[in-house]
Structure 1
Amino acid sequence: MGTVTLGVSIAVPEPYGSLIQERRAGFGDPAAHSIPTHVTLLPPTEVDASALPAIEAHLATVAAAGRPFPMRLSGTGTFRPLSPVVYIQVVEGTSACAWLQQRVRDASGPLVRDLQFPYHPHVTVAHGIAEEAMDRAYEELSEYAAEWSCASFALYQQGTDGVWRKLHEYAFGGGGETTSLPSQSTPADRPSVHP
């Protein structure tokens, strides 16, 4: 069956998700429309496609043990010079995100992996672009703020075209799959947003 590249994340809901995605594109980040706006729980991970049913069952178990929690974003941060990333900070919900990502990567489950850097929940707004554009993202979003009640996370797969698509969304508390967060569309399906 081959391998697939998966990721697990908390989607940033509308209207915030699309607005952040548009800002990311405006800073010149070519990946902006390939990656729905999110907080990572499991970074891109290559797995055998035959493991998908076990992975989905594992994630359902993780979600069943979770409970909705408040998420709040405020201001910007950066991982430079270690990594060329500017992000919006998660200022509430960090401990819940840390708890979830640990369980997603639990040694008894099918998604065991080490992280390249210590886990730090965030929403990327610029990655690997010109320093001037990174500086602009850092400054222009420095007073950005958003909040919502996080009630789920989702499993995504990266296509051969580089676009990340949602496979399943998992509601906390064992509610099964949820549709509370609409999928973000790609530029081809979405009308242009003008300032």
Structure 2
Amino acid sequence: MKYGVAIFPSKAIQDEANAYRKRYDTNYELIPPHITLKDPFEVSEESLKDVITELKKIANDTKPFNININKVSTFAPVTNTIYFKVEPIQELIDLHNKMQQDFFTDSSQHNFVPHITIAQNLMDDEYSDVFGSLKMMKIEYEELVDRFQLLYQLDNGSWTVYESFVFGKEHV
């Protein structure tokens, strides 16, 4: 089965992102707005318990931290993806890196750029228009992150939470 690890921001940030995603993100119905910590990876039923144990260790060793979102950016010219840029603070980078080493294999296909996608798979003209207006937008969010989620992919391609991992909890 295919799994991934993500941070879901507050409802306020999700609502703001979804205002654009409804119209400009082809994956709108498949997953809520999120920050990807670990790209999709395959895990057998037998290995899932080990993955969960390792994620609990990572969460236990992580202290809550604040994230800041203060601009709209893009991955162009590589892709016509537009996103809310999450400042790449060390705590977030460290959390991502822990999920790419030791027990976990690195499933990353790109360098880690913390973000929340708001538009993707746009045609060039539409991308230019949308990004042109959104990059002028003033966006400012700061919030505490105190957990991440293990997600799994359903047969219809959508993603749902398998388990949440709260930072600083004791190992279970």
**Same fold by TM-score greater than 0.5:** yes
Q: How many residues align?
A: 170
Corresponding residue of 2:96: 101
Structure 2 length normalisation: TM-score? 0.89
1:135: Cα distance to partner?
A: 3.0
2:44 is aligned with 1:44 = no
Structure 1 residues 176, 21: CA separation in 2 closer, same or farther (over 3 Å shift)? farther
Q: Find the aligned partners of 1:114 and 1:152 in 2 and give their Cα distance.
A: 21
- Give TM-score scaled by structure 1 length: 0.79
Partner of 1:172 in structure 2? 167
User: 1:142-191 deviations in whole A, cap 9, x for unaligned?
Assistant: 322222111111111111111110111111111679xxxxxxxxxxxxxx
1:124 aligns with 2:117: yes
Q: Determine if the alignment matches structure 1 residue 19 to structure 2 residue 12.
A: no
Structure 2: 5+ residue runs without aligned partners?
none
What RMSD over aligned residues (CA atoms) do the two structures have, in Å?
1.9
Contact 1:170/1:176, CA 8 A, preserved across alignment: no
Percent of aligned pairs sharing the same letter:
22
Poorly superposed stretches of 4+, deviation over 4 Å: none
**Against the structure 1 CA distance between its residues 128 and 63, is the aligned structure 2 distance closer, same or farther, given a 3 Å change threshold?**
same
Residues 94 and 116 of structure 1: CA distance in aligned 2, closer, same or farther (over 3 Å): same
Distance 1:127 1:74 in 2: 19
CA contact (8 A) 2:70 2:84 kept: yes
- Unpaired runs of at least 5, structure 1: 178-195
Farther-moved stretch of structure 1 (111-120 vs 33-42): 111-120
Counterpart code for 2:150: L
